[in-house]
Copies of this chain bind each other. A is one copy, B any other.
Amino acid sequence: MNNLLSYICSLTPFSEEDWEYLKPALTKRTFARNELLLREGEVCSSLFYIDAGYCKSYYEIDGNIKNTELFFENEIATNVTSFGSGLESKYNIIACEPLITIVFNKDKLFELSKQHPKIENLGRICLRQFAVKQEEFLAIFKLYSPKERLEYIETHHPHIVQRVSLTQLASFLGVTRETLSRIRNRRIS
């Protein structure tokens, strides 16, 4: 839980007392490799703070898998649309490595938010973090070519390139693995 507390304190002032209030909404949960955190068709009722390992959200369309997001240590994995609206998620979230998470229970979180403004505030800040991240990645796709997207990720999020396989990275960049291979080859010569 220590990592989570540090993470929260890096976002907003959070006292020992606030932490005690928040705790009842939290549960530690581990996932094996390839175990699902969220299945398509389910309603997302949790936020998963990633303590160790990483996971991805993906969409299955005509049998082949397209990665939509990656979540690493010190990030919150969820499907905002489903979490916020209570509608079924169109995406899956799956552990890519053995995963240790701290689960925020939605119902408890909502109840606590009503009583403790600090917790409500924390929720808003997390949401904002999420929106900022989305805006960033949306811009990458709108503004850049596949080659430029790779360069952007290498520069600004090098840990992604280091940890995920070429196939998964390609899917994340929105190209086939062959194209990603070519981009890297062109650069050498």
| Of A95-103, A120-128, A159-167, A181-189, the one touching chain B | A120-128
A45 at the interface (CB under 8 A from B): no
Q: Are A141 and B139 in contact (CB under 8 A)?
A: no
Docked complex Cα distance between A141 and B129 (Å): 21
Of B68, B79, B130, B139, the residue contacting A68 (CB under 8 A) is: B139
Contacts of A141 in B (CB 8 A): 138, 141-142, 174
Asked if A59 and B123 make an inter-chain contact with CB atoms under 8 angstroms apart, the answer reads: no
Quick check: is A1 within 8 A (CB to CB) of the other chain?
A: no
In this assembly, does A134 line the interface, its C-beta being within 8 Å of a C-beta of chain B? yes
Inside 8 A of A123's CB, which chain B residues have their CB?
Answer: 124
B135/A81 in contact, CB under 8 A: yes
A132 interface neighbour in B59, B68, B80, B142, Cβ under 8 Å: B80
CA distance A68 to B140 in the complex (A): 10
| Most chain B beta carbons < 10 A, residue from A67, A85, A121, A135 | A135
* A interface SS class: helix
State whether A61 touches B134 (Cβ < 8 A). no
* Neighbouring B residues of A120 by C-beta, 8 Å: 117, 120-121, 124
- A131 CB-CB contact with B under 8 Å: yes
Instruction: Given A117-B117, A120-B120, A127-B127, verify A80-B135 contact (CB < 8 Å).
Output: yes
Inter-chain contacts of A79 with B (CB < 8 A): 135
Rounded to whole angstroms, the CA-CA distance of A136 and B120 in the bound complex is 25
Q: A132 near B84 (CB under 8 angstroms)?
A: yes
A134 to B127 CA separation, bound complex (whole angstroms): 12
